Structure 1
Amino acid sequence: MARSGRSNDWGFPRWRGYEEGREAVEVRICDRHGCNEPGKCPAPKSPNSKDRWYFCEKHAAEYNKGWDYFEGLDKEEAAQRAKSEQAENAGYAEAQHYGWSGSGDGSRSADEMRALEVFELESDADFDAIKREYRARAKKVHPDVKPGDRDAADEFQKLQLAYEVLKAAEERREWKG
């Protein structure tokens, strides 16, 4: 019995990867017209439908941009649900490969969005705008400007914390890309 070619399974280390076959792998392309990226993110075509679109990460974020998970809940119910899910999913918070699913547009995490709310800025604000807004607001409530004012001190601490969150996120983005 003659073989048509030499096997890649001989010797150590193996010359091919484990679980690797010789057949062609089928890759599903993003369903967005004109996109040639792999479509790895399923999205329902309509509510309660089993039919799915398959988008790349960029177009999945665009598709989900206006979706509100807490729609129809009052503030207390929404806060309780967010707290319980954060406790249940704490292990995923540190996993960087889940980071794309943050704000809906794929650019900001939930913490960053809350920090931007402190500065009353949009989610697409660049870091220079964030820095300008932080400095302008911090000058108004700084403890040196308003000594002994507890409300101003609390506001200043809130601004500092929000700025630190956004600054750390910006540094992570610069480091990655």
Structure 2
Amino acid sequence: MARIGRKNDWGFPRWRGYGSNNDAQKMRICDRHGCDDAGVCPAPKSPNSPERWMFCATHAAEYNKNWDYFAGLSKEEAEKRRADEQRDNKGYKESSHYGWAGSGDGSRSADEMRALEVLGLESHSEFEDIKKAWRRIAKETHPDVKPGDKQAEEMFKAGQLAFEVLRAADERRSWNGPSGE
């Protein structure tokens, strides 16, 4: 009687991993011409189509960099949709660990960009500039300086909140190191 094949587990099947075999594993390659990386990020081929491109993370970022989720909506509709989605997703932290996700060049979140806008600063401003802008706004709009002025009080609160957002982001960056990793 001839043996069909030889196994390397010597009668102890628990020695090898479950589902392990020597067959080649299927891997989808990035759909970008000339790229040999694994295609793990789906991207729609056209609006309202179930067909998807499969890109590596680098090419998915390139594909999506100019995509505007709020295109065609008025400012009020866009704000309503943003508020609805933030309400629906409450409890889930935004994934800041993806280097290709986020606003602008990827160095600041959308909240940080709005905070910089409140303080009247550019996206590349350093934390010292942020402190100076916050102090200037606080000196002009503090309730002790302008008692009873509701508009100044709202401006002071907005500036204070903007400073807190940017201070927390700066602390997070300094904790994670200069590269943000």
TM-score by length of 1: 0.69
Task: Name the CA shift for 1:43/1:8 in 2 (closer, same or farther; >3 Å).
Answer: farther
Task: Name the CA shift for 1:112/1:21 in 2 (closer, same or farther; >3 Å).
Answer: farther
Distance in 1 between the 2:86 and 2:76 partners?
A: 15
- 2:39 corresponds to which residue? 39
- 1:4 corresponds to which residue? 6
Letter of the aligned partner of 2:163 in structure 1?
A: Q
Letter of the aligned partner of 2:93 in structure 1?
A: A
Native 8 Å contact 1:139 1:145 kept in 2: no
Superposed CA offset, 1:93-115 (max 9, x none): 26666785433765544333433
Task: Name the CA shift for 1:148/1:20 in 2 (closer, same or farther; >3 Å).
Answer: farther
Distance in 2 between the 1:44 and 1:61 partners?
A: 13
Native 8 Å contact 1:134 1:159 kept in 2: no
| Aligned partner of residue 38 in structure 2, secondary structure | coil
Higher helix share: 1
Letter of the aligned partner of 2:54 in structure 1?
A: Y
- 1:148 corresponds to which residue? 145
Which 10-residue stretch deviates more, 18-27 or 3-12? 3-12
Native 8 Å contact 2:141 2:156 kept in 1: no
Distance in 2 between the 1:36 and 1:49 partners?
A: 26
Letter of the aligned partner of 1:88 in structure 2?
A: D
Distance in 1 between the 2:162 and 2:104 partners?
A: 24
Letter of the aligned partner of 2:131 in structure 1?
A: R
| Structure 1 position 65, deviation (Å) | 1.3
Superposed CA offset, 1:145-166 (max 9, x none): 9652445633530331231243
Structure of larger gyration radius: 2
Task: Name the CA shift for 1:121/1:106 in 2 (closer, same or farther; >3 Å).
Answer: same
Task: Name the CA shift for 1:4/1:45 in 2 (closer, same or farther; >3 Å).
Answer: same
Superposed CA offset, 1:35-87 (max 9, x none): 44321111123334444322222221221111111111122222221222222
TM-score by length of 2: 0.68
Distance in 2 between the 1:60 and 1:99 partners?
A: 12
Q: Unaligned 5+ residue runs, structure 1?
A: none
Please provide the CA RMSD for this pair: 3.6
Paired-residue identity, %:
41
